Amino acid sequence: MTNTVKPVYMKLRDLIAAAIMDGTYPEGAMLPSVRVLAAQEGANPLTVAKAYQQFQLDGLVAVQRGVGMYVVAGAPERLRAAERAQFLKSEWPLVRARIERLGLDAADLLARI
C-alpha cells in the first residue's frame, strides 16, 4: 500500500468538508475567517485561503463581501456524494482487498457495527 503525503491545504479542505457534512457548518452558516481558522489549525493564512478558494470554485461556499464566506444550500449533500464516489473509487478497493487477504467474513464485520 502506498503512503502519499497530502498538501496542508488539502488536509484543511478535508477538515472543512467534514465539518460541513457533519453539520458543524450547516447550510447558510458562516465559515471562520481565514485568520481565525489559520490560528486554530496552526496553518499559514495563505494556505487556509487556498483551501477556501477551492470550496468557492466548487460552488460550495459563497462570499458575502465585507462579511465572509458562508455554506451554500445543497453543499453538504454535494460534498457527501463526491466523498462517497471518491471513497468507492480509491479507498474501497484497498479496504476490500485487505478484508479478503485477512480472510474476514462480511457478515461478521457487519455484525460488529
Q: What per-residue confidence (pLDDT) applies to 3? A: 58
Q: Which CATH architecture has domain 8-111?
A: Orthogonal Bundle (1.10)
Q: What per-residue confidence (pLDDT) applies to 2? A: 52
- Take residue 28 and report the three cell numbers written for it: 447558510
* Average confidence (pLDDT) per 10 residues, the chain, 113 residues: 75 95 97 95 94 94 92 97 96 94 90 88
Closest alpha carbon to 49 in 23, 102, 13: 13
Q: What per-residue confidence (pLDDT) applies to 22? A: 97
Report angle CA 95, 16, 40 to the nearest 5 degrees: 120
Backbone angles phi, psi at 71, to 5 degrees: -80, 125
